[in-house]
Structure 1
Amino acid sequence: MEEFLDFMLQFGHLNQQQMDLITKKAETIELSTDDYFWEAGKPINHVGFTKKGVLRVYYYNNQGEEITRYFIEENLLILYGHDIGSNYVPSEYVQAIEPCELVVFSKKNWRDISETIVGWEAIVQKIVAKQQKEKLERRSPLIEQDAKTRYLGFMQKFPNLVNRIPLSYVASYLGITQSTLSRVRKRIG
């Protein structure tokens, strides 16, 4: 829980009473490798924060191929939109790549926090804006780069993930085949 509070405090002020409320409303869960935090087609009932582990967000394209959109590593908030009250049903999956520990809040508890703590929504909006910007900065250059440049960029942006993510997921994220990725890795040495 300490990690979550420290993360939130980077984006705004919370007093001890507010932090105690947040702590009361939270629970910690563990996901095993391949467990889902949420699944396409099923309503989302919680918000999460990655305390330990890596998850991936993926979907299936029109040809039935699995496409990895991005990775969620430690110290990131997992939200699904601005309106916590909506009955959002995602078209993507969020799956643990390795054993994960998450701080989670039910929709009701998240809403209670939002309605009780003045400034909570402003803190959340700052986090959402930062995470969206980072996601775009990571994805946008991939479109015009060759496979080697994409992989080198991935290693630079995610140095602590390179050896934690299966190559098939890395290849999918980079928009290349696994055999192309293997050739690139051999050339890099």
Structure 2
Amino acid sequence: MHEQEADVARMWLAIDALDFARMKAKLLHRRDGQWTPETVARAEASYRQFLKLAAQYPDTAIVPNEEVDQFWHAHILDTRRYADDCERIFGFVLHHNPYVGIDGADDEARLFELASATGALMERTFGAGAQAQAAAYCAVTPGAQAQPAYCAIAPGAQAAQPAYCAVTPSQGQGGEVSRTRH
């Protein structure tokens, strides 16, 4: 047990040491106005927490909120760096499954269950403030022009900007962690 705790502590230190300066500069360089210094800082902090959960709970499906998912995508796009970072931290590449939640009502319900469990784990591991950063999980009805059919907003979250959205398969977003050892 102590060895496992030491391994997790080592992984957390490695996660804290990750340098995302270039990645953050790339996100801020985008012209869509989505990323500001504040959103980048929040996404970076939450992404580090997401990685720490993946390290501490390797057999648990961890679902990132949308902001974290986009930050994760930016990390993944630097393929060599992402692979090297994952190998150094986890000993394997942390794979992304972007299709969870898009294959009908049962799969979408599974997404909400995983998201809820991730939020609870986030709060238990990092405190009540982390749950607010996990923010909202929304479902969009087909043809609804991105108007949520149901939206659960965590306390302190901005209702106008849900942190996670599950949409119809043709617009699919979403993700969960899967792991492959190499």
- Does the TM-score normalized on the shorter chain lie above 0.5? no
Of Structure 1 and Structure 2, which has the larger fraction of its residues in strand?
A: 1
Q: Which has the larger radius of gyration?
A: 1
- TM-score, normalised on structure 1? 0.30
Of Structure 1 and Structure 2, which has the larger fraction of its residues in helix?
A: 2
- TM-score, normalised on structure 2? 0.31
